[in-house]
Amino acid sequence: MKLGDAFGIHEQALKVRSYRAELLASNMANADTPGFKARDIDFKQALGAATIQQPRMKTTHQNHISNATSGLSPAHLRYRIPTQPSLDGNTVDMQIEKSAFAANTLEYQASLGFLNGKIKGLKKAIRGD
Amino acid sequence: MSSMKIFDIAGSALSAQSQRLNLVASNMANADSVSSSINETYRSRQPVFKTMVDQMNPQNSAVGVRMLGVVESQVPLQQEYAPDHPMANEEGYIFRPNVNIVEEMANMISASRSYQNNVEVVNSAKQMMMGLLRLGQ
């Protein structure tokens, strides 16, 4: 077993959740920007894409562009359907964004908890006690 | 690290909202600045917000916000006949700014709420980062 595989899906889940936190923070930052459309990710799809192992291309020069991405692309983004559309074309609903952000933070902490558990298990196995 | 971007995003919003609050303060402070000429009269100043597109990576969807500029309100100024006023012009008129105090109060509440929201985002992001840093300890 590779050590990298020991963390299972939680590593990718953490990545997707931190990306979602960024996205929701961006929605909240643009709560007063005219014409801004709030976006969120399709979590299942994004996690599925993040877990697919991409063959990594070798870079032999500093100017080469690595294809190592987080596997998150705009393709997983979805626009939010506004419940109360505003006149300036902004679709950010602060209540929805705030609760989604709080839930996402909690899920992030849960992922961290799972990872901590995995690390504890590995440490125990290494020490052998 | 990409998740540090959340601080940039929330920080840009904090900066934009505090500039908006500054403009509100300026408008309220000058609500009664009368003048004797229509061109010199203070006009209500309003911010224009715009999303900050990542120049290096335009595909990036997590974006901050910035204040594109300030526009002056085009609402007609109030002209008042007050010949005894020290600022009155030759015809006896003074001009009052087109600042709407009620609008500015609502604007102030909206701006300070948005500011608070973004402070909460920064706090949550900080907690997330601290959790990440403590991983495996």
- Per residue in A62-72, pLDDT (tens digit) is 777 666 554 56
Q: Distance between CA atoms of B81 and B100, rounded to whole angstroms? A: 20
Structure ipTM over 0.90, yes or no: no
Please check whether residue B89 lies inside any domain of the structure.
Answer: no
Residues ≥6 apart with Cβ < 8 Å to B80:
B34, B93, B94, B95, B96
- Report whether A10 contacts A114 (CB < 8 A): yes
Q: Does B58 touch chain A (CB under 8 A)?
A: no
Please check whether residue B90 lies inside any domain of the structure.
Answer: no
Per the structure, the complete domain to which residue B122 belongs is given by 2-31+43-76+99-133
Q: Distance between CA atoms of A58 and A64, rounded to whole angstroms? A: 9
Q: Does B20 touch chain A (CB under 8 A)?
A: yes
How many separate domains does chain B show? Answer: 1
Residue B3: its pLDDT value, please? 57
Report the gap between the CA of B118 and the closest CA in chain A (Å).
Answer: 7
Q: What percent of chain A has pLDDT over 90?
A: 45
Report the gap between the CA of B11 and the closest CA in chain A (Å).
Answer: 9
> Which residues 109-128 of B are in CB contact (within 8 Å) with A?
110-111, 113-114, 117-118, 120-121, 124-125, 127-128
Please check whether residue B103 lies inside any domain of the structure.
Answer: yes
pTM given for the model: 0.84
Please check whether residue B122 lies inside any domain of the structure.
Answer: yes
DSSP per position, A27-89:
HHHTTTSTT---EEE-HHHHHHHHHSPPPPPP--STTSPP----S--GGGEEEPPPSS--TTS
Ranges assigned E (strand) in B38-124 = 45-52, 64-72, 78-81, 93-96
Residue B1: its pLDDT value, please? 45
Q: How many CB pairs under 8 A join A and B?
A: 101
- pLDDT, tens digit (0-9, with 9 covering 90-100), for B4-36: 789 999 999 999 999 999 999 999 999 999 999
Q: Do B9 and A18 touch (CB under 8 A)?
A: no
> Which residues 16-75 of A are in CB contact (within 8 Å) with B?
18-19, 21-23, 25-26, 28-34, 36, 39, 70, 73-74
Please check whether residue B19 lies inside any domain of the structure.
Answer: yes
Residue A76: its pLDDT value, please? 80
Q: Is pLDDT of A91 > 50?
A: yes
Q: Is pLDDT of B58 > 80?
A: no
Q: Which of A38-52, A69-83, B82-96 has the highest mean pLDDT?
A: B82-96
Please check whether residue B85 lies inside any domain of the structure.
Answer: no
